[in-house]
């Protein structure tokens, strides 16, 4: 079994960094406080399930009943059968497997939610989930099937079935039958009752994980684009007056003011060439307003991700005695804490931010390769235009990336469709929004790498070296890792290298 020194404890809220680390082997601990909560919650569930109300046997959704629109019918009497009753009908997903980092992050989110002790699951379920993270075991989960309303039922059902040894899973990146994957990693198949099974699927953990990972990538891209915009302005010899502190304070938006301050620090020491026009194109002159608006929007997404990672997503919840003297009645509460509307709204906003940041990167690269606007550098930054083609292929690819981002930027949260005999008569579609945001964020990452490669090439074909020391450091990082395009060569790996380098610099 593979292990790692990274440790996550399931007592407090998660952070996005923990979700990123979950892509590889990770030590996840169920500490004494979590065990105490789990044991208390399990006892409460059993007491409430086995008790009676004034009209006869107490009904608890999913433990004594059918599911969804069939809640009015009795479930199966045997606990193991009720587990199968929960999971079998949800095996209806389609499409390619989800990225493995999303699946593992989703299961970490699920484990943390369950560990709060309000779901009535057995301690063994959470401990066995924690054991999985010390290995490379990853359930194979199809992409399509969740509406993000009763939790991510279908994708989490596939994940749960894999942990039971059914379906398929990955080990060290290799897809195989889940039973073989469990054997290869030394894990035992999960044994579940109906409550355990329902709790594993009845939360928006896939949505939360995809949103958190996408958000982290876009945040990094925002910091990268802030750096690259300053490097572009310095290489071209722009006057930094568009970053004037008084100007941006008058604008009235905190993100713009904060972004302007970061850009002034990056450009400290720059010497304008005196050959640029009075007013730069918007892709330079309006960059603090655009990047600042992105910062303000991402701060809102910060709050949604933090709340989702700290909250409990499930139905029903089993709440212990409450009140100032602890005298309130313990109860099973049926409600809608599996409804992913906050994440759906946040994912749509993140998609909009990603699209505009992608537009900015593509437009800045277009400016850089155009001799009419780049201060007289050769077209496409080619050493011998026509004999060589410099950045021409990369620019074509960036156009395709932006088109793909725009095509996927249609809001998902407004697409509600009734389903499940109108039991789910409104749904948020946050899963689609979050997965789409994750795809778009990866393309934005490549757009950053494409622009960075163009800036590195610009100096090779005649642009001045940066006059601001911090911009010079950025350029030197690129020069040390990437050769100039001379002669032409495939640049796909160079784009990825540049993107990775700058993402590492920009990650706190």
Helix (H) or strand (E) holding 171: strand 168-171
Residues catalogued as catalytic: 61
**Which residues, at least 6 apart from 347, have a Cβ–Cβ distance to it below 8 Å?**
207, 210, 211, 214, 412, 413, 430, 433, 434, 436, 437
Q: How far is Cα 134 from Cα 338, in angstroms, rounded to an integer?
A: 28
Q: How far is Cα 341 from Cα 80, in angstroms, rounded to an integer?
A: 32
Pairing of strands 56-57, 94-97: unpaired
Q: How far is Cα 384 from Cα 378, in angstroms, rounded to an integer?
A: 8
If we measure between CA atoms, which residue out of 301, 28, 362, 38 comes closest to residue 195? 38
In 341-429, which residue ranges form alpha helices assigned H by DSSP?
A: 341-369, 392-407
If we measure between CA atoms, which residue out of 474, 486, 410, 468 comes closest to residue 237? 468
Q: For the CA atoms of 240, 246, 251, 254, what is the dihedral angle to 10 degrees?
A: 90
Instruction: Quickly tell me which residue has 């593992």 as its tokens.
Output: 104
Distances in whole angstroms, Cα of residue 123 to Cα of each of 1, 30, 31, 43, 506: 22, 9, 11, 11, 39
Angle between helices 287-310 and 254-266 (to 10 degrees): 110
**Which residues, at least 6 apart from 392, have a Cβ–Cβ distance to it below 8 Å?**
369, 380, 382
If we measure between CA atoms, which residue out of 156, 239, 212, 275 comes closest to residue 435? 212
Could you tell me where the beta strands, DSSP code E, fall in 178-263?
none
């Amino acid at each position: 079994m593979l292990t790692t020194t990274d440790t996550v404890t399931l007592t407090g809220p998660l952070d996005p960094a923990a979700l990123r680390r979950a892509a590889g082997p990770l030590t996840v601990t169920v500490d004494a406080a979590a065990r105490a909560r789990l044991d208390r919650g399990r006892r409460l569930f059993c007491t409430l399930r086995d008790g009676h109300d004034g009209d006869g046997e107490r009904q608890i959704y999913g433990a004594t009943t059918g599911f969804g629109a069939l809640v009015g019918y009795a479930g199966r009497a045997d606990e193991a059968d009720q587990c199968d009753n929960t999971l079998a009908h949800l095996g209806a997903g389609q499409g390619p497997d989800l990225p493995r980092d999303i699946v593992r992050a989703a299961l970490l989110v699920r484990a943390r939610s369950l560990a709060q002790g309000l779901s009535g699951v057995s301690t063994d379920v959470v401990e066995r989930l924690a054991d999985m993270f010390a290995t490379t075991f990853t359930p194979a989960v199809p992409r399509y099937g969740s509406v993000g309303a009763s939790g991510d039922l279908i994708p989490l059902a596939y994940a749960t079935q894999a942990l039971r040894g059914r379906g398929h899973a990955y080990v060290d990146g290799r897809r195989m039958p889940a039973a073989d994957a469990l054997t290869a990693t030394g894990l035992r198949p999960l044994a579940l009752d109906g409550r355990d099974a329902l709790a594993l699927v009845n939360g928006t953990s896939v949505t939360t994980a995809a949103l958190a990972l996408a958000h982290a990538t876009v945040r990094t891209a925002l910091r990268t684009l802030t750096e690259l915009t300053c490097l572009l302005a310095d290489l071209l010899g722009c006057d930094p007056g568009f970053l004037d502190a008084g100007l941006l304070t008058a604008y009235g938006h905190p993100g713009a003011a904060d972004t302007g301050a970061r850009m002034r620090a990056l450009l400290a020491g720059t010497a304008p060439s005196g050959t640029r026009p009075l007013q730069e194109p918007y892709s330079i002159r309006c960059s603090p307003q655009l990047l600042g608006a992105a910062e303000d929007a991402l701060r809102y997404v910060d709050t949604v991700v933090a709340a989702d990672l700290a909250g409990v997503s499930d139905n029903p919840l089993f709440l212990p005695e409450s009140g100032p003297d602890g005298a309130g009645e313990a109860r099973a509460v049926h409600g809608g804490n599996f409804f992913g509307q906050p994440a759906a709204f946040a994912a749509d906003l993140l998609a909009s931010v990603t699209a505009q940041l992608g537009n900015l990167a593509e437009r800045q690269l277009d400016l850089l390769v155009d001799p009419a606007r780049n201060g007289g550098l050769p077209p496409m930054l080619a050493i011998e235009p026509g004999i060589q083609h410099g950045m021409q292929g990369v620019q074509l690819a960036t156009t395709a990336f932006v088109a793909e981002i725009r095509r996927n930027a249609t809001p998902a949260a407004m697409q509600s469709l009734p389903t499940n005999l109108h039991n789910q008569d409104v749904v948020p579609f946050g899963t689609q929004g979050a997965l789409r945001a994750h795809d778009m964020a990866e393309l934005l990452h490549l757009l950053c790498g494409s622009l960075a490669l163009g800036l590195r090439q610009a100096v090779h074909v005649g642009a001045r070296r940066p006059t601001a020391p911090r911009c010079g450091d950025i350029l030197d990082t690129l020069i040390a890792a990437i050769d100039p395009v001379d002669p032409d060569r495939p640049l796909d790996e160079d784009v990825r290298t540049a993107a990775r380098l700058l993402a590492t610099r920009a990650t706190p």
